[in-house]
Amino acid sequence: MNASSMIPALLLLCSAELVLLECEAQDETFTLNGVVKDQDSHALLGGTTITAMDTLGKVASDRIVSIRADKRGRYKLSLPYDHIYRVEYWAQAHVAKRVIIDLTQTKAKHREGGNTMTLEISLFAMIPRVDYSAYLVPVAVCRFDRDEKKFKWDMAYNQDRKGELDQVKKEQLAERRSKAAGH
């Protein structure tokens, strides 16, 4: 199965392992970029597939942007406004992670110059006999906050997901311990 506090400069979402490094004005589209790493070794995951799919499209293929991270794990996607994107990060033998980027709440004046969001994504290696189905649902949601006039993570959503994602980590740890003990 392919189961795959907003601090302006840095946001670490506990169990989502996402780091928002910066958010600044750029050009006429929303730019999502960053780097993908292995959660345990911190090795760069070059070749990771990053796919952004418009969840508002009538047909699944209406708006899909897909790229591969370069050999240093870096990626860059340009996404048109007025869409809600499910962005999936997938690397072979790793658990895929999904995030929602909602670009529907930005007014024209907040789009001038565009916006850039940099995300560091950590993926962990799949371990047999661990249920990764919790990762089929996006681990985080980001949307424009009109009051603060910036993109923010939905902390309530992230907190709701934390329990499920922490359970997967517990299963992984138990499975690693079992394997190390020779069971």
Domain ranges for the chain, please list them. Answer: 11-180
Contacts 24+ apart (CB under 8 A), 157-162: 158/13, 158/14, 158/16, 161/15, 161/16, 161/134, 161/137, 162/14, 162/15
Query: Alpha-carbon Rg of the chain, whole angstroms?
Result: 17
Q: What is the pLDDT along the chain (183 residues), one digit of tens a residue?
A: 333 333 222 233 333 344 443 344 334 688 999 999 999 999 999 999 999 999 886 655 567 889 999 999 999 999 888 889 999 999 999 999 999 999 988 877 777 766 888 999 999 999 988 999 999 999 999 998 888 888 899 999 999 999 999 999 999 999 989 888 876
23 phi and psi, to 5 degrees? -145, 110
Architecture of domain 11-180: Sandwich (2.60)
